[in-house]
Structure 1
Amino acid sequence: MYMDSLELSTYGAGGMFWGAHFAGEFRERRGYDITPWLPFLTRSAPLMASSTVYHHEPLEAQRATVEKVRFDYVRTLTDLYIENMMRPFAEFLHENGMTLRSEISYGLPFELTRPGPEVDGIETESLEFASQIDAYRLLAGPAHLFGKQYSSETGATTRNHMLDHRFYDQIIATQLAAGITKTVLHGWASPAGGEGVTEWPGHEGMWNMFSERFDTRQPAAEFYPLWNDAIGRCQYLLRQGHPRIDVGILHTDHFTDNASGMFFVDADGNRVPDEDAYGRDWMRNRQNHWWQDLGMQDAGWTYEFFDGSLLLRDEVTLGGDRAAPVVQPDGPGYQALLVFQSGLDADVAKLLVEWASRGTKIVLVNGTSELKSLMLGTSTKHDLAASQTPGLDGRDAELAATIEELLKQPSVTTVDDASLTVDALRDLGVTGRAEFVEPNENVLSHLREDGDLLHLYLYSFLYETGEPTTVEVSLPGVGAAHRIDAWSGSVAPYGAARVSGDRTILTVSLAPGETALFTLDRSQGAGSGAPASDSVVTQLDDWSIAVESWDAGEMELITEDRGLGYEAREVRPHTSVTRLAAGTGSLRVWKDIPEVGPEVSGVGEYTTVLDVASVADGARYLLDLGSTSGGLGSVRVGEGPLRGFDTSHPVVEVTDDLVAGSNTVVVRVASSLNNRLLARGYYDDLPDVFSHHLAGPELMQQTFVRDYGLVGPVRLIERR
């Protein structure tokens, strides 16, 4: 059973979630009467909980107390949501042979991570969290702590049919770096729909303001099997063993900003296209939202968030020896915990003292800030970490005494500047498991441990603004290194590895947007290979070019009569495909080819002959396509199979396909439907969801003619 995000609204002037028994539940759980505080709890929330604006604010002298009451109110809502909805719902499903996969909390004023243990799978989504690593770290904590499948509803944006395939690949690549290992493609999966409301290219099952629909209406559908296989191989490898996360960050949030993936404006209030915001802003402009210092990320360390109360559950344990204890050894195996919010539960603080006495490394970080609302440009500041309990429980003095005891432990320290966090952790003896030898601002990593095997995922995430980068990754242990090609499934010894003490260092070069998979087998001795060297065999400049132009075809009427007195009718739009021969010549984008032009979408086919004098024994041969304008596609060399490629770094190994002499090369590359739909006027009356959901004049979607096709340069590379 799948449970989507919580998008409930309240009606009435108070704007509160309430019920006949709520006041009694509150008194029983919190120990005081909520009634006198109701004026400070009434609110407006025009879009999700993160947009909450309280109707009445207290005097400054009363603010601390009122904020505690507000916390107690939403904590009670979370309690009741877990106890009266999530837990019995999951039990009912289990009794009937089903499991529950859920987008557990965001959207309503419930704590984001506390419901995690109640479900079988935790899901996030790209529509509401865009392509931001910090947003996906938010739910990674409960997923990894409790061994839940971490998945994402992926691919929805507000740019219907406009964007190249690379855009969606980069979302998935970002999510893999946070430990998401199940991609659920978003969108209505059938082009057929109701008669009278369905037009080409297909039924818009979730309004035409939202995309994307990964079905046969897309020119890229021809290549989806290759793409799905590649994603599946990544996800399979990254499900093996256990995640190895370096640092767990205690983080409580009842008002998570889950609208950060939908609404983009610049400083002047102008609409920023999704593709620009995803590719150039926030994490790709040195700005993370929740833990905002980038020192750990640049060092190759991994971290994620969870509510501190989850550590109190019986399922969570401390393991390892005193010199290097880890939290949840069979889960994320945190080597250290970090506390930065001003509020900390008194019972959680007591647990931290106990764990610190057993050697757990803990850092308290003062003077931090985290995102409150991206739309409103607001943040929450934390001057002093763990300086008060979050609720009105009268335990502030007790917490202060507990923190004083905590700071006496030799495995605990505090810093007043978040930029000192990595140094503080190093001083406590923490080393990143997949640590970069030198800081790197371009690369994210994720590590899994399966006995003697370490599986490493790397992602060069500055796909719009970055340059090629080389990173050295230091892994614990000595063994044989292998690189896995997600597109072919091949596993090859990796020569750019060396031993340094008791660690293995991989030297990896990545293009912007490129991902890479490695396995270090510590049951074997270190490999004896050398780093590979590349040389260009030839460049392919002359191509026979044809484009299969897609446009509206006939409507197929589908009827069904079950003898119930009515006939069901729907239509399925078909696509008319016209092959446009563009002659022979150099590679260019379609809009610059006279026989094709700016109004065409579809699939381009490029054919040439590759002459090779000889094929060297022991060498590997790679066909580097240069650029496909972000389009998904395939390559066939000679009699070899169809091979897919990474849309950011389209390089295909053709060693097994190449023969001495002449080799026919066929490259096929798909486009989006943007240019055809733009020419048809599809976007003229298509509202922009940004203006649709906010007050003000309704604006239409804005797009332009996109670059399509293989543009190269295409080169054959010999690697030795």
Structure 2
Amino acid sequence: MFANRVTAKLLAATAMAFSVWNVQASAESLSEAFKSPPMEAKPRLRWWWPGDAVTDVELRREVQLMAQMGFGGAEVQSFSPNFVKLTPEERAVVNDYAEPSFVAHLRAAADAAKSAGLSLDYTLGSAWPSGGGEAIPPEKAFTELAMARTMVIGGTSGPIKVEQPKRTKRLGALNFFDPRTKDPKYADWGKRMDARARTVAVVAMKGSAPDLKKRGGMNGMTISPWSDVLTSGTLDPASRIVLTDKLREDGTLDWSPPPGDWQVFVFRQFASDVGVLGSAGRGPQLILDHTDPTAFAAHAARVGDPLGKNPPGMRSTFVDSLELMQDIQWGPKLLEEFKKRRGYDLTPYLPFVVQPGWMQAWDEHYSLPYFDAAKSDIAERVRADYRHTVSDMIIAGFIEPFVAWNHAHGLKAKFQAHGGAFDTIRGYGLADIPETEDLVHSGDPLFMRLARSAANLYGRRIVSAESLVWPDRAYSVTPTEMRRRTDLIIAGGVNSMILHGMNYRFHAEDWPGWHAFQPSPFSLGFSGPLNETNPVWPAMRPLAAYMGRLQAVMQAGEPVVPVAWFYGRYGYYIGIEDDGAGKQAGEKAFLAAGYDFDRINPDSIAQARVEGRRLISKGGHAYGVLVLPPIDGIRADTMEAIAGFAKAGLPVFFTDHAPRRDEGLAEAKKRDARVKKAVAGAMKAGAKIVPAAELPAAIRAAGVAGNLRFDGDASDLVFVQRLVDGQTVTFVHNRSDSARNVTLSLPGVGGVTRWNAMDGSVRPVSASATADMTRLPLSLASGESALLVLDPKARPQTLAAPALIGSATLPAEGWALSVSGHVARKPYAHDFGEVALQDWSKVPQLAGFSGEANYSRSITVDPSWFKQGTRVSLDLGQVYDMATVTINGRTLPPVIAAPFRLDVTDALRPGANMLKVTVANVPQNGMIDPSNPAFKKLKPVAAGWVGAGRLEASR
């Protein structure tokens, strides 16, 4: 029976030792947490500091402001104030980052946070990637491998001239424009960087060259030297010759190529001078070697050790996504580690490792590799072994030391594991607080599930997200968009949002003050300043309350995720599993069929067990089924573990076909045989090969209960679900641009309530029992969500919808209007007298206005609307971008998101009423300045109160 299986599974999962804020959360405690979220459930702010150019007085004031607005804390991100004119004295103070004065300021902020009941996270280093200062000299800087290729026609006598690799030119840490590099004490750093250059290998193979796409620039800056590939070159591995000792200093190769077409490759190691992006601090800002634990130790000694152990008011330290810009990911000991870990010498196979897109720090995407092997899968195996080794070295050299350092200092480790060439899920899982972000594809909830997956697999209770980030929109993001993005993030499995971000008040006299990602002549910036200089700042208090209520629910009880969906890749980008198509077909099919999923990695499989036909992760989460995507290669030990799961009774499904071989090259025949034997054993035990389109049905037929069922068009509906003391809590979000009308079936029979996180109200909804499910109609507008709680102790009920008994359209004219704000970044205030409601773009004086506007006039309300049981709502119609309504001197809670509708029953009186509507818009229009290179590219957006408001009475 559907509900019985679900209930049994959920109740069993509840008994697992999975750390949550209150494992035994009851219906009463959940309701109380929803009404008044605990501090851990409140959202946090990324708090941008201009290096050390801060004061204790202002830090304390801003901490109090965070507390007043309903935030639970902040993440300190020290940053260089780019594109702000600084005096030499200001620049020097900014660069006192990590000096004793900065540490004192950080302690003062943490003490203030503790006194206010908040806590701070601290970015372990200024900006990202990690590094900077004298702690990371050239000898500890990260390295890259560069490749040069020469086509050679064989059959002639040598020596021959071959191309030599050059260090890719980037605007690096030792660039001439950075005054920090001009101190005489760093005069030899350039030579010391050059001294680390060495030729690693010269390899020749017979074969053809790749056909490459024409490269496009990125504002004149080189991010990667690789072009995307139209057709891979083909090499013959059997012809490989290592010629390293034949290369002369003048670049000639003492070699006579045999007949044939040869590709000759020269690989050279360089210490990369790529700098820490936007960093504050003294000295050059070289990025540390993430494969060298001594480099991390030196970095932590500089930026972390001065805090001491168990620093009061601090929760964790944080590392952002790595974003390492290397030609080929490398470490000085990589060849040595590769041979030790993979069992063979990588040197003769180096030409196979280059695959653009995957290797990039930004704009990760799919491309064919530069070279494949002729008539074999050797190249693919080599790439898998290479990536496995890079992953191992980054985890051992950076991630594990980072976590260990935090624990030794009484802190938690918070880490963004995306943006790096390693096992992403393991990287998240090693951290105490795995953190994702919504910048990827405008908040892709399927990508964000990677962090949630790690939390369930490794037993982490908080899933964090760098949130509310929009590229090229420094000043135009509205509260409505923030609310909608919040829902998308929650539907991605996140339960702790870090809002990007609050800027320390710096250069405040130049409205709106410093913004860490303000527009420049080169970029339109990111997101918006979330502080009191932003006219829509008042929306943050109700928005923080909204987030806190949702997060309080999503931190309670146990997650319900029945499907473990195998992920054996290193790194991530959308399209990594379908050759760049980015369809995410498997993930979308699971959700449409009512099954939530986690991605499970080989490391988690190695630590899992089967009990009662369920897969139990190291972290205690129980999965009802393990599904593998259509992959050819898998580690033999992983496949053997999966076969063991099948024999223990776990349903196992292979999509389209089973793996055919081991993923690596060493002892390939032996390992391939192990994979085939394990697959055969799994199939004999009941594992099945199922076409992708039939997977959901096959899972259901195997008796694996889903989270819910949809009848109707459920495309683009995403959901998460939790079990709290027997109650099933379901959050459903419509990410589509159009409405969705479905019938939703929840497991078990009970009464259903809909919880409104915006105002904290709870109301019953109509539902009916059908067999062992509870069915209810669900209509969601574009971007709308529903938080539904099924209580098996209550009964489903049918409720009559309120009937509309009267309505009245608000007048479009006769509104007294006064405004106060900015035009072209200059203060502006004006009383317009009586006006008609319209977009401010049609009013010359307001076309470039940003700020607050007060509309007021008298309206008349029908006395017949005041009979007992009648509720009156005010729908303001089109508002850009938030509104606060005052009726007869009584100010109601702000309306911050569409639909701009609120209950006004208790504020109205029969007959004449004085209505005041205060509207605030985003800063965008007030920032436009054709004379300023940074702001002239901004475009105007709709603003003001356009009208079409209505009063509606229902009973």
Q: Please report the TM-score for the alignment, with normalisation by the length of structure 2.
A: 0.60
Alignment of 1:259-658 (within 5 A): 289-291=583-585, 294-313=588-607, 316-319=608-611, 321-322=612-613, 325=614, 327-328=616-617, 333-342=622-631, 343-366=633-656, 384-393=657-666, 394=668, 395-410=671-686, 412-416=687-691, 418-462=692-736, 465-467=737-739, 469-492=740-763, 494-522=764-792, 524-535=793-804, 537-542=806-811, 544=815, 546=817, 548-551=819-822, 576-581=827-832, 583-585=834-836, 587-592=837-842, 594=843, 596-607=845-856, 609=859, 611-613=861-863, 614-618=865-869, 620-629=871-880, 631-638=881-888, 642-645=892-895, 647-658=897-908
CA pair 203-436 structure 1, distance change in 2 beyond 3 A: same
- Describe the superposition over 1:174-194 as per-residue Cα deviations: whole angstroms up to 9, x where unpaired: 111011111111145124149
Contact 1:496 1:532 in 2 (8 A): no
Query: Residue 253 of structure 1 aligns with which residue?
Result: 569
Query: Residue 190 of structure 1 aligns with which residue?
Result: 504
Q: Partners of 2:338 and 2:855 in 1: how far apart? A: 68
The answer to whether residue 330 in structure 2 is matched with residue 18 in structure 1 is yes
CA pair 13-21 structure 1, distance change in 2 beyond 3 A: closer
CA pair 621-443 structure 1, distance change in 2 beyond 3 A: farther
Determine which of 219, 223, 226 is the counterpart of 2:539.
223
Q: Partners of 1:259 and 1:225 in 2: how far apart? A: 38
Query: Residue 667 of structure 1 aligns with which residue?
Result: 917
Q: Partners of 2:540 and 2:714 in 1: how far apart? A: 33
CA pair 5-234 structure 1, distance change in 2 beyond 3 A: farther
Q: CA deviation at 1:40?
A: 2.6
- Describe the superposition over 1:674-698 as per-residue Cα deviations: whole angstroms up to 9, x where unpaired: 22222x2277546xxxxxxxxxxxx
- Describe the superposition over 1:647-703 as per-residue Cα deviations: whole angstroms up to 9, x where unpaired: 23333244554555555444333222222222x2277546xxxxxxxxxxxxx95x5
Q: CA deviation at 1:364?
A: 1.5
CA pair 632-190 structure 1, distance change in 2 beyond 3 A: farther
One-letter code of the match for 2:710?
F
The answer to whether residue 394 in structure 2 is matched with residue 81 in structure 1 is yes
Q: CA deviation at 1:164?
A: 2.9
- Describe the superposition over 1:372-417 as per-residue Cα deviations: whole angstroms up to 9, x where unpaired: xxxxxxxxxxxx442332222421221122112222334x33223x
Q: CA deviation at 1:340?
A: 0.7
The answer to whether residue 429 in structure 2 is matched with residue 117 in structure 1 is yes
Query: Residue 90 of structure 2 aligns with which residue?
Result: none
Larger mean CA deviation between 652-661 and 664-673 belongs to 652-661
Contact 1:5 1:103 in 2 (8 A): no
Query: Residue 283 of structure 1 aligns with which residue?
Result: none
Query: Residue 263 of structure 1 aligns with which residue?
Result: none
Gaps of 5+ in 2: 1-121, 132-141, 148-326, 520-524
What SS does the aligned partner of 2:643 have?
helix
Query: Residue 107 of structure 1 aligns with which residue?
Result: 419
- Describe the superposition over 1:571-592 as per-residue Cα deviations: whole angstroms up to 9, x where unpaired: xxx972514436254x432223
CA pair 21-13 structure 1, distance change in 2 beyond 3 A: closer
Query: Residue 409 of structure 2 aligns with which residue?
Result: 96
Query: Residue 138 of structure 2 aligns with which residue?
Result: none
Q: CA deviation at 1:250?
A: 0.8
One-letter code of the match for 1:603?
E
One-letter code of the match for 1:296?
F
Q: Partners of 2:891 and 2:558 in 1: how far apart? A: 35
Query: Residue 150 of structure 1 aligns with which residue?
Result: 463
One-letter code of the match for 1:204?
H
What SS does the aligned partner of 1:649 have?
coil
Determine which of 187, 201, 204 is the counterpart of 2:512.
201
Q: Which has the larger radius of gyration?
A: 2
What SS does the aligned partner of 1:23 have?
helix
What SS does the aligned partner of 1:114 have?
helix
The answer to whether residue 355 in structure 2 is matched with residue 66 in structure 1 is no
Q: Partners of 1:712 and 1:304 in 2: how far apart? A: 45
Q: Partners of 1:719 and 1:19 in 2: how far apart? A: 70
Larger mean CA deviation between 20-29 and 113-122 belongs to 20-29
The answer to whether residue 489 in structure 2 is matched with residue 169 in structure 1 is no
Q: CA deviation at 1:134?
A: 2.0
One-letter code of the match for 1:30?
R
CA pair 577-75 structure 1, distance change in 2 beyond 3 A: same
What SS does the aligned partner of 1:704 have?
coil
Contact 2:810 2:951 in 1 (8 A): no
Q: How many residues align?
A: 622
Contact 1:7 1:107 in 2 (8 A): no
Contact 1:219 1:602 in 2 (8 A): yes
Q: Partners of 1:179 and 1:91 in 2: how far apart? A: 26
Query: Residue 141 of structure 1 aligns with which residue?
Result: 453
Query: Residue 183 of structure 2 aligns with which residue?
Result: none
What SS does the aligned partner of 1:13 have?
strand
Gaps of 5+ in 1: 261-286, 367-383, 554-573, 687-699
The answer to whether residue 493 in structure 2 is matched with residue 179 in structure 1 is yes
What SS does the aligned partner of 1:389 have?
coil
- Describe the superposition over 1:6-65 as per-residue Cα deviations: whole angstroms up to 9, x where unpaired: 589855524333334332322222122222222333577554483697985133324x11
One-letter code of the match for 2:734?
S
Q: Partners of 2:952 and 2:597 in 1: how far apart? A: 38
Contact 1:546 1:581 in 2 (8 A): yes
Q: Partners of 1:299 and 1:666 in 2: how far apart? A: 48
What do you get for the CA RMSD once the two structures are aligned?
3.3
Q: Partners of 2:624 and 2:912 in 1: how far apart? A: 56
Query: Residue 941 of structure 2 aligns with which residue?
Result: 706
Query: Residue 235 of structure 1 aligns with which residue?
Result: 551
One-letter code of the match for 1:227?
L
What SS does the aligned partner of 2:375 have?
helix
Q: CA deviation at 1:533?
A: 3.6
Q: CA deviation at 1:119?
A: 0.8
Contact 1:227 1:644 in 2 (8 A): no
Q: CA deviation at 1:623?
A: 3.1
Contact 1:535 1:719 in 2 (8 A): yes
What SS does the aligned partner of 2:878 have?
coil
Q: Partners of 1:658 and 1:184 in 2: how far apart? A: 39
The answer to whether residue 340 in structure 2 is matched with residue 28 in structure 1 is yes
What SS does the aligned partner of 1:213 have?
coil
Contact 1:638 1:657 in 2 (8 A): yes
Query: Residue 566 of structure 1 aligns with which residue?
Result: none
CA pair 624-110 structure 1, distance change in 2 beyond 3 A: same
Q: Partners of 1:420 and 1:259 in 2: how far apart? A: 22
Query: Residue 681 of structure 1 aligns with which residue?
Result: 930
Query: Residue 224 of structure 2 aligns with which residue?
Result: none
Identity, in percent, stands at 23
